[in-house]
Structure 1
Amino acid sequence: MNSARTTSDAPLDADAVLEALDPEQREVARALSGPVRVLAGAGTGKTRALTHRIAHGALAGAWQPTQVLAVTFTARAAAEMRTRLRDLGVPGVQARTFHAAALRQLQYFWPQAVGGALPPLVEHKAGLVAQAASRLRLRVDRAAVRDLSAEVEWAKVGMLTPDAYPEEARRRGRPAPAGLDHLAAARVMRGYEEVKTDRGVIDFEDVLLLTVGVLEERADVARAVRQQYRHLVVDEYQDVSGLQQRLLELWLGERDDLCVVGDASQTIYSFAGADPRHLLDFDRRHPGTRTVRLVRDYRSTPQVVALANGLLDRAPRAATRARVELVAQRPAGPAPEFWENADDDAEAARVAAWVADLLAQGHAASEVAVLFRTNSQSEPLEQALAARGIGYLLRGGERFFARKEVRDAVLLLRGAARSDDGAQPLGAVVRDVLSGAGWAERAPEGSGAVRERWESLQALVALADDVAAARPDDRLPQLVAELDERAAAQHAPTVEGVTLASLHAAKGLEWDTVVLVGLSEGLMPISFAADDADAVEEERRLLYVGVTRARERLVCSWTLSRTPGGRASRKPSRFLDGLRPASAADAARGAGARGGTRAERKRRGAQLSRCRTCGEPLTTAAARKTGRCESCPATYDEATFEALREWRSRTAAEAKVPAYVVFTDATLVAVAEARPAATADLAGIAGIGPAKLERYGEAVLAVLAGDAPAPPDGPAEHP
């Protein structure tokens, strides 16, 4: 896909913005009015579609940029959206998180709606929760305080009072936190609110609750907000909570100019109150909704996409409602690898050795990620990477802009910005300034604090180069302003080093190479989810998010034991069944399980199907039907396939049914590639059952023989 920004300095117009999009993205960008729902699969360019939609509306004169409110879930995503819109020539759009947008409104309207100054915002609940528990004479450790804090958040985003919490939590089957019962947890919640009142502070959930309260009670305030924001866009809509949905409804009022974008297959925050039903039922709440599906995956290779699709193919039908099946757009890449390891230490050593080989081949460490289910799994990986001198970044550690060397560097750049006369390119100026802070052209040898310091400064140099390439007229003052904006949004530039992160923390990110470790039962799905069907499916979606982070290379790894010499009692994750090559142990288990129901035998047979061209497992229904991977070249004669399509079209028209009712495209491809010469051969093709064989068999064989019969004179009966 072409970049939206042209090579000239001329500003973009509305048509030029559309030229950079694929057909489905263009449909989104052109849908400038009425309710719009975009079902966007991983890697399909949803942020591109959203920003170009906003830019198209503004440049076409249909919208005023300052009257657009684009809401997303992380400050980083909001900052990226603002940057893209600025590059498209549309500054002034308010792109914020729900909390940031609500806080801005609350600060503005609080003096007239309530009076006085808005109470201070407390960022962390732990101290207040611990004090509330202490008042109740409950002994709680740090882990219990963390769990209770999370439960407070869950109750508040669900708009549950402490009195209503116990019954609703039990109704939803939610375990009580920290070893307490639901009534005791409710007492802690009530005490937490009292501690906040005593200290005169509010928390992040209060920001949303108070904004909802003001908008509900003050019609003049609601009218002013709706007058200001006439066009609403919500990204990651599958993660909206009940409280956020209520706030969105109040922003919208009686209007219908709302565009929501989401992917139900990436709902992984139900524990925090996210409810994908807002996305799934959007068209029911908003009659006349236009739904657009973004299915073209520009991120990952066909091999990675096939594995991702296969993972969801095996989910219960009810769990994949409104699912988007991805269609790969990139060239073929290496097949995903599946590793079985003796124990966690052996797995970490293997990962480190494999990554070292990648780096030796010239691959960038910043384009490699190792992802895991729980943060406790990172320790052996950290040790193994450090033993090989490989730098790594632990997401969730010290924030980039909080590092001393970064703060010092920004101060130096701010001072130099006052005297930047534009005589040198931006990148050269930044290099000169940061040389005084310890940056050099060559990275220092080895690892440790010196290397980490250099990597932080190098990230600032690389960012300066990126800014200069995107906006050639920008100088040091503009770069400093961007750094300030990124610091506020915690939108860190890329730092050179292998990323270690949990699957939840990896959401919204991507790398060339991804290694998924610990894919054993008990870790994926996590043990406490094993007895809850809905929780298991959320674990499947979490693994799907992990798989779709990879652009080119993907490794799925598991261990048989936790510690060296331990009992090999672990089994590979159930989610890998039918996707990974069968081992000898699997074959032995399969030989002893040839019985079962017909459906079970059919499912096992489908899981063992392999491509007749490359031998890889077939992971989608369409691939199993044709007998080859979607990325492998077709082997049918084009004229034969077109003759079959023409016959199907005539037959469907005469029967007054859609063409797929006769045969799907995948079945036609399978017929064209197999070229069966007899009815018995035709019966062996997936998708042709006894009824269709009797109805269409002779006609299909006639088409293949080159003497297709003429269509009947009268209308055919409905099949």
Structure 2
Amino acid sequence: MEKSTSGFENKPFGASSARVPRAEIAKAHAERGHSTKGVGGQQGELDAAYFHRLEQSGIRLNAAQIAAVRCTEGPLLTLAGAGSGKTSTLVCRTGYLLDVRGVEPSGILLLTFSSKAAAEMRERIAGLPGISEYDAGRIQARTFHSFCLWLLFSQGMQKEIFGDTRRQHIQLQQIMRELSLQDAYPPENLLALLSSYKVNLMKAEQLPESSEADRQMKRILLRYESWKQEHDRIDFDDVLTNAHALLKERPDLLERLRRRFSHLMIDEFQDTNLLQYEVVKMIAAPRNNLMVVGDDDQTIYSFNGARSEFILEFEKLYPKARVITLDINYRSVPSIVGLGNEVIRHNKMRRDKTLRAAHNGAVLPAYMRPDSADDEAGQVIAFIQREVNAGRREYGDFAILYRSSSTNRAVLEQLVMKDIPHIDYGDGRLLYEHWLVKPVLDHMRLSINRRDFDAMASVLPTLYIARDKGLTHIQTTDAARPKKGPLVHLLTLPGLKDFQLEKIRQRLEMIRSLKGLVPAAAITQIRKSFYDAYIQAGEHSEQTSHREMLKEMLDELETSAGRFDSIVSFLAFVDDMLLRNQQTAAAKSQAQGNRVALMTIHKSKGLEFPAVFLIGASEGTLPHSSALGADSLRDTRVGLEGEASYTEALEEERRLAYVAVTRAKEQLFVSSPALQRGKKAAVSRFLLSAFGQDTTASDAAARAEHGNRRSGPDPTRFGKVRTGRYGSSNASSNAGSSPSGGSAAAAGRTQSVPVWMCTAGSCVAWTRIMHSKDMAAAHKPCPLCGSAMKKGRKDVPV
């Protein structure tokens, strides 16, 4: 009998169909003796003996896996669905080449994308019956970068690898200072831009110059490239580009590699970029004994240059290629496999395949519709604690997955506060530690302690004043003439123009005005006064997915602050969280152990867990707002001809949802908060469409909203929120028209705010709470009818 988990539903909120998707049950392995059919003569005897030894050692393959193992000549595309045993297929095929086909171990090149995967391959090959450890060690099982580095070193390259990300960031920041572009661009975005060109066989000299921002970034990156050359250093992208150039320049070297490597195998082929694929094609030709293993439904790294068309168009390049589909999922119960099938089948640009399940099981995926991210976090962590306390699960059985790193704020806070062992596979930082968020918090710190010099150092760059120079002047001047608010000493900083002095005066006044506001209102004031304009200053304000991420983080900060009555209490909470997180960070390692795992969906690919929580499965988060507005985002596919279309971006988001679902082995929990960062959010269309619901109308509406929102400045940040002092309790009644003359779609957006509401049933009055003294009051009479009012929250139009 089918059963759900207590406290959750068997289908997403709003799903019209009661049918629960389930995958067909398949035979997990081929019938005994099947593996010995189809090959005759002496070769057949070797073949039969090999598969017999595999079965005796406990390795039983299904019919499709056996076919892929036996296909050793010519190009082969193996479509490996989620959990379908691709590693076993690659390992057993390697053994088959050695044991049955007599291929020299040194003639096999097996490329993958992580050192861990390469090490696992080598270990499992060495464990095959009949394969000696010596022969296994002669196989070239490497990552792409390791192979290209081996190639460069073999030809006498002696350059230092400049691979430390932190050092790369410091060097780019130094270059920006030299060009008088202090902190103009985040180093990680500059590196991503440069990488996108290199992996698509273009050089920094080909970077665009269509705007001042383009020209500035090109100058920075050209200087960065020159610096590396002057100091005999190369980064990881250079390893690939230099190896590719070497093979183009040295036909003799390429020919030696072709003679040596008679058989090539590529794991995770869907993650391959153009540069990597070109290297593979060059070495494989002309024999083209090339096996590629991948799943176009798991192509989720387009921002790193991965292209699903390499799988979709494989036969165009290799007309004689054979295609074998591994369609039996050995990881998950039928209901999870079935949900994955129904999620992904709505993509148009994909190979047609439907996975079957090897295992049975009655537990269904469970869905919840919490009020907000904080409500979601509370329910998720409470469930995990109950399961662990009851002895049904260990902490290490659980993974919490999310679309973007800012989505983990609430759940990470809950884990830290409740001292639940966990490991964050991101950068390990809380929202409050991010470079974007810290200046906002430090303006609030200055409002309650005007002599906080650490906070002053943080806010100086937002006034376009060099941090060291400005702080030295403040401290030196204050030592001679102490002030209650030392930031005022900036008015005597030499060399400032009149407009700069006026900006400083405005900032000083703004900081003083924050003290009486509730934290969320204070953050809104900071953003509206200058911070959003500072982040999106000048020609850097073109709409990009990076800008979307910055806005998302600041919105999340406002949401967090909305729980507190005063700036003092909010900052006390932030400091407590920072201290707790610092204490737990010391014990972190890369091994999960018995700890709850937190990671983005991107990080989870290739992993599996007994129980998975997918949080934030709501419109605007999954699919992400950057995908819903992909047509107007400038950096969606930097370095390629044109930009990603809305359809392409949305299909990649659906692939992300598919990857998240298929990480779960036994239990899957999906949460779709009704409010995301104070705004209403519908259940993800990917879930609803999996239950047979037509999402065309909601898709068109969402696309229209995001298109309108990007046609000008964001009204929630640069326009005044005009809710009036009193309003109808039915906030949605104003959704048809914009109070500032904007579009109906923009006016229909809402945010959650603290309010006083009249308790009289016949009165609809409410008033917004903006000041801490108002929040602290215990009672308030209704200004319309005189009845008592109570505190609450209300969704109001933006």
Deviation at 1:81, TM superposition (A): 1.2
Cα distance in 2 for residues equivalent to 1:302 and 1:63:
39
Deviation at 1:122, TM superposition (A): 3.2
Sequence identity percentage: 32
1:183 aligns with 2:215: yes
Partner residue in 2 for 1:340: 369
Q: C-alpha deviations, 1:335-383, integer Å up to 9, x for none?
A: 1111111111110010001111222333122221000111122232122
1:509 aligns with 2:607: yes
1:384–1:294 Cα change, 3 Å: same
Partner residue in 2 for 1:223: 255
1:453–1:210 Cα change, 3 Å: closer
Partner residue in 2 for 1:475: none
Partner residue in 1 for 2:270: 238
Partner residue in 1 for 2:194: 152
Cα distance in 2 for residues equivalent to 1:398 and 1:451:
10
Q: C-alpha deviations, 1:148-176, integer Å up to 9, x for none?
A: 11111111111112332328xx9xxxxx9
Cα distance in 1 for residues equivalent to 2:343 and 2:692:
14
Whether the 8 Å contact between 1:304 and 1:336 is mirrored in structure 2 is yes
Q: C-alpha deviations, 1:464-515, integer Å up to 9, x for none?
A: xxxxxxxxxxxxxxxxxxxxxxxxxxxx655111100001000110001110
SS at structure 2 position matched to 1:206: helix
SS at structure 2 position matched to 1:287: coil
Partner residue in 1 for 2:663: 549
Deviation at 1:454, TM superposition (A): 9.0
Matched to 1:160, the amino acid is M
Cα distance in 1 for residues equivalent to 2:692 and 2:411:
25
Alignment equivalent of 1:16, drawn from 35, 41, 52: 52
Whether the 8 Å contact between 1:13 and 1:59 is mirrored in structure 2 is no
Partner residue in 2 for 1:277: 309
Cα distance in 2 for residues equivalent to 1:540 and 1:56:
37
Matches within 5 A, 1:448-527: 494-527=592-625
Cα distance in 2 for residues equivalent to 1:256 and 1:17:
29
1:53–1:339 Cα change, 3 Å: same
Cα distance in 2 for residues equivalent to 1:17 and 1:181:
63
1:123–1:247 Cα change, 3 Å: farther
Deviation at 1:224, TM superposition (A): 2.2
Matched to 2:680, the amino acid is S
1:538–1:14 Cα change, 3 Å: same
Using the size of structure 1 for normalisation, the TM-score is 0.62
Whether the 8 Å contact between 2:76 and 2:291 is mirrored in structure 1 is yes
SS at structure 1 position matched to 2:233: coil
Alignment equivalent of 2:182, drawn from 127, 139, 142: 139
Matches within 5 A, 1:498-647: 498-531=596-629, 532-562=646-676, 566=678, 569-579=680-690
SS at structure 2 position matched to 1:309: helix
Whether the 8 Å contact between 1:232 and 1:259 is mirrored in structure 2 is yes
Query: How many residues end up aligned between the 2 structures?
Result: 475
Worse overlay, 61-70 or 508-517: 61-70
Cα distance in 1 for residues equivalent to 2:379 and 2:691:
19
Cα distance in 1 for residues equivalent to 2:682 and 2:228:
47
1:384–1:290 Cα change, 3 Å: same
Cα distance in 2 for residues equivalent to 1:242 and 1:123:
24
Cα distance in 1 for residues equivalent to 2:199 and 2:588:
39
1:209 aligns with 2:209: no
1:165 aligns with 2:207: yes
Whether the 8 Å contact between 2:403 and 2:621 is mirrored in structure 1 is yes
Partner residue in 2 for 1:349: 378
Partner residue in 2 for 1:68: 108
Whether the 8 Å contact between 2:327 and 2:356 is mirrored in structure 1 is yes
SS at structure 2 position matched to 1:138: coil
Partner residue in 1 for 2:724: none
Matches within 5 A, 1:701-716: none
Partner residue in 1 for 2:435: none
1:57 aligns with 2:97: yes
Q: C-alpha deviations, 1:388-426, integer Å up to 9, x for none?
A: 442111113579xxxxxxxxxxxxxxxxxxxxxxxxxxx
Deviation at 1:537, TM superposition (A): 1.0
Cα distance in 2 for residues equivalent to 1:109 and 1:542:
40
Cα distance in 1 for residues equivalent to 2:106 and 2:53:
19
Cα distance in 2 for residues equivalent to 1:227 and 1:494:
43
Matched to 2:286, the amino acid is E
Matched to 1:383, the amino acid is E
| Structure 1: 5+ residue stretches without partners | 4-11, 112-116, 171-175, 400-446, 457-491, 594-719
Cα distance in 1 for residues equivalent to 2:624 and 2:182:
27
Cα distance in 1 for residues equivalent to 2:252 and 2:107:
18
Q: C-alpha deviations, 1:254-295, integer Å up to 9, x for none?
A: 221110011111000111111122222111211311110000
Cα distance in 1 for residues equivalent to 2:170 and 2:582:
32
Matched to 1:391, the amino acid is P
1:549–1:17 Cα change, 3 Å: farther
Q: What is the alpha-carbon root mean square deviation over aligned residues?
A: 3.0
SS at structure 2 position matched to 1:342: coil
Worse overlay, 82-91 or 233-242: 82-91
Whether the 8 Å contact between 1:333 and 1:553 is mirrored in structure 2 is no
Which runs of structure 1 show a deviation greater than 4 angstroms over 4 or more consecutive aligned residues?
447-456
Cα distance in 2 for residues equivalent to 1:396 and 1:37:
33
1:254–1:61 Cα change, 3 Å: closer
Whether the 8 Å contact between 1:18 and 1:56 is mirrored in structure 2 is no
Whether the 8 Å contact between 2:423 and 2:592 is mirrored in structure 1 is no
SS at structure 2 position matched to 1:34: coil
SS at structure 2 position matched to 1:370: strand
Deviation at 1:18, TM superposition (A): 5.3
1:455–1:123 Cα change, 3 Å: closer
Matched to 1:164, the amino acid is Q
Deviation at 1:133, TM superposition (A): 2.8
SS at structure 2 position matched to 1:575: helix
1:86 aligns with 2:86: no
Whether the 8 Å contact between 1:561 and 1:570 is mirrored in structure 2 is yes
SS at structure 1 position matched to 2:156: helix
Whether the 8 Å contact between 1:504 and 1:542 is mirrored in structure 2 is yes
Cα distance in 1 for residues equivalent to 2:163 and 2:582:
32
1:132–1:453 Cα change, 3 Å: closer
Cα distance in 1 for residues equivalent to 2:202 and 2:171:
19
1:105 aligns with 2:147: no
SS at structure 2 position matched to 1:505: helix
Cα distance in 2 for residues equivalent to 1:364 and 1:581:
35
Worse overlay, 354-363 or 147-156: 354-363
Cα distance in 2 for residues equivalent to 1:13 and 1:181:
65
Cα distance in 2 for residues equivalent to 1:243 and 1:372:
30
Whether the 8 Å contact between 2:84 and 2:331 is mirrored in structure 1 is yes
Deviation at 1:53, TM superposition (A): 0.5
1:35–1:140 Cα change, 3 Å: same
SS at structure 2 position matched to 1:385: helix
1:343–1:371 Cα change, 3 Å: same
Partner residue in 2 for 1:36: 76
| Structure 2: 5+ residue stretches without partners | 1-27, 31-47, 430-579, 630-645, 702-798
Partner residue in 2 for 1:293: 325
Partner residue in 2 for 1:378: 408
Partner residue in 1 for 2:66: 26
Cα distance in 2 for residues equivalent to 1:262 and 1:41:
8
Q: C-alpha deviations, 1:178-229, integer Å up to 9, x for none?
A: xx74333333221221121222210111111111111111122112222332
Worse overlay, 568-577 or 496-505: 568-577
SS at structure 1 position matched to 2:426: coil
Worse overlay, 187-196 or 381-390: 381-390
SS at structure 2 position matched to 1:271: helix
Which structure is richer in relative contact order (CA contacts within 8 A, separation 6 or more)?
Answer: 2
